[in-house]
Amino acid sequence: MSFALPKGLIVSCQARADNPLHGPVFMGAMALAARDGGAKGLRANGPTDIRAVKSADLPVIGIHKVFSDEYPVYITPDFDAAAAIVEAGAEIVALDCTMRPRNGESPEVLVRRIREELKAEVFADISTFEEGVAAADWGATYVATTLSGYTEYTEPKPEFPDLELLEKLSKRLSVPVVAEGRYNTPEWVRRGFEAGAHAVVVGTMITNPREITKMFVRGGVPE
């Protein structure tokens, strides 16, 4: 079976509104830099940034973050959010496939509708083994560990990636499993592939200079 997302390193090019690098000009440039550095795919948020990163001519995992006061789910929470990013050029739609409450259709229905109606691949962002198994059963094209450490029922703010979850899912599932979340060094990326990852997504440590600077200040500058 062929997949839109190649094996290899995927670079997430995201900058929220409070980040000095927010906006399509900067995210488009990040995408070109990532491509020139050897990335095999990109992850980007929202139609405007997705259009901009498409200039790198790599497969794009699109997300559409929509925050609400009432519900914890914010990564592509509904069908309209998914449709907008496919329209912008994303071949792959990532969405929150956790069991958490949301306003509207269940992730099971969304996975089916995105595949059938939008003809796009589905990238399931999950936080536990059970959620990964369920997402694969619903027909997700890929299952990714993105939300481990970010749901109320997983370890809060862990320092390192969840390799154990990655390995368990890779052994159990027949769909490709993607490593994402805190793969902050080349060594962790290598360990991710050894644990069975089809691809590893790196965001902060490649495309967020503010966080990288903080890390150097915290870890290297005397008080």
Ligand X SMILES: CC(=O)N[C@H](C=O)[C@@H](O)[C@H](O)[C@H](O)COP(=O)(O)O
Residue ranges in contact with ligand X by CB under 6 A: 12, 14, 63, 146-147, 150, 180-183, 201-204
Instruction: Name the residue nearer to ligand X (CB basis): 113 or 154.
Output: 154
Residue 115, CA atoms < 13 Å, CB-side half-sphere: 16
Closest separation in Å from C-beta 196 to ligand X: 18
Instruction: Name the residue nearer to ligand X (CB basis): 40 or 204.
Output: 204
Closest separation in Å from C-beta 52 to ligand X: 16
Strand 8-13 to 41-45 pairing: parallel
Q: Closest Cα to residue 138, out of 112, 117, 120? A: 112
Closest separation in Å from C-beta 92 to ligand X: 13
**What is the C-alpha separation between 52 and 57, in angstroms, rounded?**
10
Q: Is 44 exposed, middle or buried (0-12, 13-18, 19+ CB in 10 A)?
A: buried
Instruction: Name the residue nearer to ligand X (CB basis): 134 or 189.
Output: 189
| Residues in contact with 223: Cβ distance below 8 Å, sequence separation at least 6, in sequence order | none
Q: Closest Cα to residue 24, out of 83, 89, 77, 112? A: 89
Instruction: Name the residue nearer to ligand X (CB basis): 28 or 181.
Output: 181
**Tokens representing 18?**
């409070």
Closest separation in Å from C-beta 7 to ligand X: 18
Is-contact 31 50, C-beta < 8 A? no
Instruction: Name the residue nearer to ligand X (CB basis): 51 or 182.
Output: 182
Residue with nearest beta carbon to ligand X: 203
Closest separation in Å from C-beta 6 to ligand X: 18
